[in-house]
Amino acid sequence: NAGVTQTPKFQVLKTGQSMTLQCAQDMNHEYMSWYRQDPGMGLRLIHYSVGAGITDQGEVPNGYNVSRSTTEDFPLRLLSAAPSQTSVYFCASSSKTFLAKFPDTQYFGPGTRLTVL
């Protein structure tokens, strides 16, 4: 199993450009999520999905879109990049039991480091 994979590893954008960060998992996990990590701050949830066709907003969703057409893939789209979106982005997945009384492990991808000039 490859686990959770993310592409690209690094990306530089100009203000106003759009792009898609890719995330895929091969563990058949229902729950997937996107986080951003900024220096000195904890990870913050951008969007999440509890299954194919179902997405919802997290703590900091503005400026980002997601879709979940398959169980495996959960891309994150930046509509019009801004310098405030300079960050490291992590995708994570876990089994459906994540939402249940007995938690399951959450697996993170290696991250995408994004710089917006």
Partner 1 sequence: KNQVEQSPQSLIILEGKNCTLQCNYTVSPFSNLRWYKQDTGRGPVSLTIMTFSENTKSNGRYTATLDADTKQSSLHITASQLSDSASYICVVSRLNNNAGNMLTFGGGTRLMVKP
Q: Which residue ranges make up the site for partner 1 (CB under 8 A)?
A: 4, 31, 40-45, 48, 50, 56-59, 90, 92, 98-99, 101-103, 105-111
CB of 15 to partner 1, least distance (A): 25
Contacts of 64 (CB under 8 A, 6+ apart): 34, 46, 47, 76, 77, 78, 79
CB of 73 to partner 1, least distance (A): 17
Give 83's DSSP letter. Answer: G
CB of 13 to partner 1, least distance (A): 20
How far is residue 84's CA from residue 3's CA, in Å, rounded to a whole number? 29
Nearer to partner 1, 4 or 81 (CB): 4
Distances (CA, A) of 26 to 40, 67, 72, 73: 31, 17, 6, 9
Nearer to partner 1, 75 or 110 (CB): 110
Side-chain half-sphere of 84: how many Cα atoms within 13 Å? Answer: 6
Nearer to partner 1, 50 or 82 (CB): 50
Nearer to partner 1, 14 or 39 (CB): 39
